[in-house]
Amino acid sequence: MFHKILIANRGEIALRIIRACKELGIKTVAVYSTVDTDSLHVKLADESVCIGPAPSMQSYLNINAIISAAELTDSEAIHPGYGFLAENTAFAEICENCGITFIGPSSESMRLMGDKISARQAMIKEGIPILPGTTDGVQGVNEAITIAKKIGFPVIIKASAGGGGRGMKIVHSPAALPNAFATARAEAQAGFGNPEVYIEKYCQQPRHVEIQLLADKHGNVVHLGERDCSIQRRHQKLIEESPCTLITPELRKEMGDAAVRAAKSVGYNSAGTVEFLVDTDNNFYFMEMNTRIQVEHPVTEMVTGIDIVREQIRSAAGLKLRYKQGDIKIKGHSIECRINAEDPVTFTPCPGKITSYHTPGGLGVRVDSFVYDQYTVLPHYDSLVSKLIVHAETRDDAIQRMIRALDEYIIDGIKTTIPFHKRIMANKDFIEGNFDTGFLERMVLK
């Protein structure tokens, strides 16, 4: 096992990793920007190193500074968390070349699954369903129009190197395609340094369902069931839950087996997630693989009792998985609400100083956060301030527990999305499980 791990991240995920390391008896090193001096991950780590000014490119995305910090502190491994450098193939390669363990998959696995086009090609070889579309990048707008007409509208344009909704445009007609194509390429270039895009059939009214995987360096892979991530705005997830109300035990096994095959096909060895779209006829289609820990991993931890971050670290250290597929049991129901420092109606970021802070508690309530009373939420980074997670025996009980926890959660001084989540939890369609990825847009239009 590792003696010391450097955490190349900030916020709640940095704290989450510190906690897992402490329970494993591993020393931790926090890196931070000049404006993050008062962040909890800096205070709770065993050591800390300032790696640059506020802009991410000069700090949390500064590979040279992070590697130097790891060498300075004699860290054996680096955990990238999610976001920032978590899916940066070059960073994983540099770690490997410097003799530092990257806590994640190999750079080769990351490259194969991180590029959406190569991932689609790999899934075709494995016989895993994908939506009709291109298996290579689309070079020009005329080619895009020809392909779209052949597939049939609506189609969706996606960045090959992308994720999180950037470089992604839904197109309903030939007339709208030239502008959408140009915009998607521009967003892809700006966001990922690669303008390449591909086109696939747009799946209407789907559920966004993902399968959590654990894999080791000995060829063992298991899945931990599914998460429903359909409540989202502009392709950004806002609420996640496990299990999905739509998924039968038979479909869970089929999707889980497909996800395991996908991971094995690229020699995957870490925590990871295979994301699917499930249509109204319960057909599922591979969408992408996230080669990192997910924001929403706690709901899976709550229903399985498995510490995913701990297992991710064990895998990176070369230890075998402690679980076989038959050991994985789904118990009860869990829901996660992402609490963002945003206006609950417009979703405009609202950074500022928290003047009063009180977290909810009680049976089955978990808060993953990094903020505290008098903490100033910074404008430089993602607006996520905490994740509120509940667990109960049934989905109805979990919804009621979430309503109670949201009522208890006090964050004064800034606007947050707590009121938004209260509206969702009280929504009849959400309570009855009648929703898909377009749910929020329809709700807003009502």
Coil, strand, or helix at residue 240? Answer: strand
Q: Kind of pairing, strands 221-233 and 207-215?
A: antiparallel
C-alpha 382/C-alpha 271 separation (Å) is 23
Separation in Å, CA 343 to CA 360, 415, 427, 428: 21, 5, 19, 23
Q: Which residues contact 248 (CB under 8 A, 6 or more apart)?
A: none
Tokens for 259?
A: 């996800």
Separation in Å, CA 400 to CA 397, 429, 446: 5, 15, 24
Separation in Å, CA 306 to CA 225, 313, 326, 397: 12, 13, 14, 22
| Residue 292 annotated to the active site | yes
CB 126 within 8 A of CB 265: yes
- Nearest by Cα to 255 from 129, 116, 132, 131: 129
Q: Kind of pairing, strands 155-159 and 197-201?
A: antiparallel
C-alpha 146/C-alpha 142 separation (Å) is 6
> In the chain, what are the helix, strand and coil shares in percent, each to the nearest 5?
35, 25, 35
Q: Which residues contact 62 (CB under 8 A, 6 or more apart)?
A: 51, 52
CB atoms within 10 A of CB 410: 13
Q: Which residues contact 437 (CB under 8 A, 6 or more apart)?
A: 205, 206, 207, 208, 230, 232
C-alpha 283/C-alpha 277 separation (Å) is 8
Tokens for 419?
A: 């009121």
Separation in Å, CA 142 to CA 56, 170, 182, 321, 440: 37, 17, 12, 49, 33
Active-site choice (16, 185, 292, 314): 292
Q: Kind of pairing, strands 365-369 and 376-377?
A: unpaired
**H/E element holding 267?**
none
Q: Which residues are catalytic?
A: 292
